[in-house]
Each structure stands twice: as C-alpha cells, then as structure tokens.
Amino acid sequence: MTQIRIISASSIAKGSIMKLIGSLTCPYVRKIRIILAEKNIRHEFDVDIPWNTDTHVANHNPLGKVPVLIMNDGKTLFDSRVIAEYLDDLEGAIQASRLIPESGSARWRVKRWEALADGICDATATIFLERKRPDTQQSPEWIARQHKKIDLGLAAAAMELGGNDWCEGKTITLADVALGCATGYLAFRFPQIEWRKSYPNLTKLIDKLEQRESFISTAPRDYAR
C-alpha cells in the first residue's frame, strides 16, 4: 500500500496519488505514516531529509520542515497535526478506525495527548541537535531543561493513563499513536534513558503498540539517523 522512494524535483505531479514527504527517523513523519497504515490509505512515501543540501522540502513547505503531505490535487498540507486531522476526515478512509473523536471532550483529550507527546519529541530532538554541537558550544543548562521536560512529560502521561488500556476510550486513537512515536524516538536517540521500570503502565501500552504492523513497519532505523 505504501511505496517508498527517494524524492527528486520532478517526482511530484499534480493529479497523482497522494504523497507524504519526510525522513525515516522523524517522529512526526512516523506519526503520519502510522495513521496512513492504520487507515489503509493508499499513498507514496518520498524520502527527503531537510538537512541535506539537495533537499526539495522547501519547494512544498516554505518552513523547510517535514512531514509534508501533497494531496491528490497537488496542494500541500503541513505540519503533522494538520495532516493527521485531514487524513482522519478523508472520505473513503476506514471510518471504523477513526483516530480522532469528531467532537466533544474526548476530541480535546486526544489532542491534548498529542500535544504532550509532541512536546516530548521536541525536547528529545533539541537534546540530539545540541549534542551535535562542539562540546565547548553546548549548553548543559539547556540540555538539562529538555531532560526535565521529558521526565515531567512521561510522568504526566503515566498519571493520565492510569490503569486504562488506551490513552482515550476503548481502542487505539491518535493519542496512542503520538505517544508511541514519542517514546520510540526517545529510545532511538537515547536508548540509555531508562523510563520503563518507573512507568509500568506506559510500558504495557507501548509494548502493545509496538506489536502492531503500523509501528513495526515504521520503526526508525540506524541506517537513516
């Protein structure tokens, strides 16, 4: 259902199949890839890393960030939160697998979960990028602040989840997808950060998510850091 290829300037054509542009390691791109898989939406996935000198991401998103979704009419959507909403509202998608409640308090609880998970991703990425700077240019205080965000974010997620099987309701939602992407990215970048023993309820949920084909097929790989 998903075709993966390396993007070129001429590979995007209007009126063609929907295309997702992104990297193989970005957690926000992974969020969208999981949604596409869970809802069985036909698409192509074009690999384009914004940091590369030959990137074409800015041709489709002036901010130069991924993910970018090119719709069937050639118009683009970004960022991941907007794309997630669009995909969940698509006519013809599997409505039984709706990942965002249509209205009411449940909808905003799911979106709150997404914001929390994305914040953990933001902090993880910030540490990773800061660590790539020369040692003399790194800010220990800035890094410590990001670690605190991760710690408090995971603690809040564990408290909110409690003894429930899913973040919201009786089945998988965007809340679970976003949280799974956040913990997966944390494990990918910093496997030495151990949180599982402290939050067994989160561990149970993440282990369950990581058995799903949508998570298995989109797991970040060492060859594409």
Instruction: Please name the residue ranges forming H helices in the chain.
Output: 27-38, 80-89, 104-131, 140-161, 174-189, 200-209, 213-216
> Measured between alpha carbons, how far is residue 73 from residues 4, 42, 149 in Å?
20, 15, 40
pLDDT of residue 68: 98
- Render 177-216 in DSSP notation, one character per residue: HHHHHHHHHHHHH-TT---TTT-HHHHHHHHHHTTSHHHH
The top-level CATH class assigned to 104-219 is mainly alpha
- Using alpha carbons, list the distances in angstroms from residue 12 to 19, 44, 81: 8, 10, 23
Three-state secondary-structure class, residue 44: strand
2-97 fold: Glutaredoxin (3.40.30)
The owner of tokens 């220990």 is 140
- Burial of 215 from C-beta contacts in 10 A (0-12 / 13-18 / 19+): buried
The predicted pLDDT at position 75 comes to: 96
Query: In the prediction, which pLDDT does 1 show?
Result: 42
Fold identical between 2-97 and 104-219? no
Closest CA to 110 of 79, 88, 77, 78: 88
Quote the pLDDT of residue 223.
Answer: 52
pTM of the model: 0.91
Per-residue pLDDT of the chain (225 residues; tens, 9 = 90+): 444 554 433 344 445 689 999 999 999 999 999 999 999 999 999 999 999 999 999 999 999 999 999 999 999 999 999 999 999 999 766 655 799 999 999 999 999 999 999 999 999 999 999 999 999 999 999 999 999 999 999 999 999 999 999 999 999 999 999 999 999 999 999 999 999 999 999 999 999 999 999 999 999 987 544
Task: Please report the pLDDT score of residue 93 as a whole number.
Answer: 63
Q: Contact, 126 vs 146, CB < 8 A?
A: yes
Q: Where are the domains of the chain?
A: 2-97, 104-219
Which region, left, alpha or beta, applies to residue 2 given φ > 0 means left and ψ of -120 to 50 means alpha? beta
Strand 19-22 to 68-70 pairing: antiparallel
Q: How far apart are alpha carbons 214 and 131 in whole angstroms?
A: 30
Q: Which of 40, 43, 37 is nearest to 4 (CA)?
A: 43
- Name residue 165's amino acid: D
Long-range contacts of 147-154 (CB under 8 A, 24+ apart): 147/123, 149/119, 149/120, 149/122, 149/123, 150/120, 150/123, 150/124, 150/186, 150/193, 153/116, 153/117, 153/119, 153/120, 153/123, 153/182, 154/120, 154/183, 154/195, 154/198, 154/199, 154/202
